[in-house]
Chain A
Amino acid sequence: MKHANFIIISYVLTFGTIIGYSLRMFSRARKLDDFVKDADKPWT
């Protein structure tokens, strides 16, 4: 496949950014979870 490096980089960057952002979001949620009462979490 021609230009495989550019193509692979665009896929890795896109998926990698989504995964990285999601992991950071979950990490933040876990850190905050202990300090917040269940009453303040309407989804639980």
Chain B
Amino acid sequence: MAIRVQLDRILLERRMSLTELADRVGVTLANLSILKTGKARAIRFTTLDALCRELNCQPGDLLTQTPGPQDAGSDEDLDGNAPGTT
């Protein structure tokens, strides 16, 4: 995915933990981890709005676009196998 979520950097700057942010935003820690590690496919405007509100930043601070080839496919194939397995 060419869009990167700069959650690590902003959490460090605001001296906030992922758990605390999850509680404030109302998103589960698991989902925030998915967002942080770049595995998310999409983000709702309501979530983005809540993140920007709690982190006191703009969407452009959170999201950056990296030019280059797109990542191929999703994390697992649609037969339920993990990547690298058949």
- The answer to whether A and B come from one shared complex is no
The chain B residues found within 8 Å of chain A, CB to CB, are none
